[in-house]
Structure 1
Amino acid sequence: MDGQSPKETAWLIIGASGHGRSLAAIIRGRGERIAALSDRAFGTVGARPDDPAPDLAAFAGRDGELPDCFGDDGEALDYAARHSLAIAVGIGDNPIRSKIADGILAEPRLAALALPLVARSATVDSTAVLGALSQVCEHAHVGPQARIGDAAVINTSAVVEHDAVVGAGTHIAPGAVLLGAAVTGIQVFLGSGARILPGISVGDFAVLGAGAVATRPLAGMTTYVGVPAQRLVSTKGPAN
């Protein structure tokens, strides 16, 4: 599937920080609109923020109209359900994004709105499978038979090659690469430019630092750096 929703789709974005603004650009690039925005910075549920206001220009429509703003995700999700808005979670942090996603997917009326979001400049093979709330950002590539888990992020110019598997809640940072049949567990973070070589697996909650290369299977709950990737050791012992 290509993850492209109908042209008239309107969206709720949860989170208005950097990643939320990136999703706003993807949605605008698809010719769609952002109808609602949820972020605790807004403070007042159902109202636009008071001074000093966050910069909302990134979320405005072509006519400059701002989306409805909520300071509470529950209120925003109820609004999305009532207005049939597609939902995107604009949170880069894996545990927070995954927790929000789990709540959405546990409610049938919301799960139906939890579409994958694919940038127009991205390429997704027709045989790839994209999970609910997954994101494939600008110029990213997802190859044949690849599987992307729920709420996973394939960020700008990242590559997930044929038969690779990205676990739920994982974040593949800009320029990172999973080569053929590579596998990540859940909530893994691959730093910018990191690589997992063909057929290599990386365990749940692992972190692969920027530019690191996984040449052998890596255990979960551990941070790895370097080429080839090695367990990061500090004076306090291995980082988890």
Structure 2
Amino acid sequence: MTQRLVICGGGGLAVEVAALLRDLGERGRVDGDGYVITDVVAPGPVRTADLTALCGSPFATHADIASIPDRDQKEFIVCTGDPTIRHKIYRELVRMNLTLARIVHPMAYVAPSAVIGAGAIIYPGVFVGPFVQLGANVVLHAQVAVHHDSRLNASVVLSPGALLCGHTVCGKAAFLGTGASILPKMRLGAYSKLSAGSVLRRAAGDGCLLHGNPATVRRTWSVALEEDT
């Protein structure tokens, strides 16, 4: 069965997701279904030529989700790397009662006991260990490892090579830079950012920018924690 897919975002992550989908289509598997990209929604510039080359078929572009026709007959995937923007778009999709796709590359290892939320994007080369809980709308880039009993809340983004040891927690819309690590049983707060190569050795609160080994707080900002959807 071929499902119509809407990409929310028109930049680099959208291009990578389109490439993953083409690869999955050639392999004959995308979480059990095949997808054809019918629409791209982005308020800013869209890499139309690159997306067209990867999609292999024409698609419509839109400035907002509300202008997409037949929304209830399509699935949606959020393709922006900024976790705060991801979460805002995710909440809009949920509010509109729209269906989120789930993209898991077959060259990722996902333990059978792991739970993967709707809208997740999991690249090749990812390791997801036993009893991991991945919330909705998360992104795990290539070579990410999330070890046993860890929990990622909605809209977390893990950059290439990020490492989460066992029993770690990432609050909603948290971000790990390339090669960043969280040691066992530590928590990174909601909307917090751990910079590239940094190591979190102590729990960090919400709305923090952390850097170094051990990671220390370099900046904080106010976070309004809305209810999870």
Give CA-to-partner distance per residue, 1:194-234, whole Å, 9 cap, x none: 000111111111111100011121122111111111122xx
Which structure 1 segments of 5+ residues have no match? 1-6, 43-52, 233-237
- 1:168 partner SS: coil
Q: CA deviation at 1:79?
A: 3.1
- Aligned pairs for 1:48-197 within 5 A: 54-60=47-53, 64-76=56-68, 78-81=69-72, 84-108=73-97, 110=98, 113-197=99-183
**Contact kept in structure 2, 1:182 and 1:196, CA below 8 Å:** yes
Which structure 2 segments of 5+ residues have no match? 26-34, 222-229
- 1:162 partner SS: coil
- 2:172 partner SS: coil
- 2:191 partner SS: coil
Q: CA deviation at 1:60?
A: 4.3
Q: Aligned partners of 2:205, 2:64: CA distance in 1, in Å?
A: 37
Quick one: which amino acid aligns to residue 161 of structure 2?
G
Q: CA deviation at 1:117?
A: 1.6
**Contact kept in structure 2, 1:86 and 1:114, CA below 8 Å:** yes
Q: CA deviation at 1:114?
A: 0.9
Measured at CA, do residues 198 and 59 of structure 1 come closer, stay the same or move farther in structure 2, by a change above 3 Å? farther
Measured at CA, do residues 41 and 217 of structure 1 come closer, stay the same or move farther in structure 2, by a change above 3 Å? closer
Count of paired positions: 212
Q: Aligned partners of 1:66, 1:60: CA distance in 2, in Å?
A: 9
Q: Aligned partners of 1:158, 1:20: CA distance in 2, in Å?
A: 19
1:198 to 184, 187, 191: 184
The CA RMSD over aligned residues, in Å, is 1.9
Measured at CA, do residues 75 and 60 of structure 1 come closer, stay the same or move farther in structure 2, by a change above 3 Å? farther
- Aligned pairs for 1:27-46 within 5 A: 27-31=21-25, 32-41=35-44
Q: CA deviation at 1:18?
A: 0.5
Q: Which stretches of structure 1, 4 residues or more, deviate above 6 A after TM superposition?
A: none
Q: Aligned partners of 1:59, 1:79: CA distance in 2, in Å?
A: 21
Choose 1 or 2 for highest CA Rg: 1
Q: Aligned partners of 1:40, 1:102: CA distance in 2, in Å?
A: 17
Q: CA deviation at 1:146?
A: 0.5
Q: Aligned partners of 2:85, 2:172: CA distance in 1, in Å?
A: 13
Q: CA deviation at 1:61?
A: 5.9
Q: Aligned partners of 2:94, 2:131: CA distance in 1, in Å?
A: 24
- 1:22 partner SS: helix
Scaled by the length of structure 2, the TM-score of the pair is 0.85
Give CA-to-partner distance per residue, 1:21-66, whole Å, 9 cap, x none: 1111121121032122112347xxxxxxxxxx8433334466x422
- 1:12 partner SS: strand
- 1:56 partner SS: helix
Q: CA deviation at 1:159?
A: 1.3
Scaled by the length of structure 1, the TM-score of the pair is 0.81
Q: Aligned partners of 2:160, 2:61: CA distance in 1, in Å?
A: 29
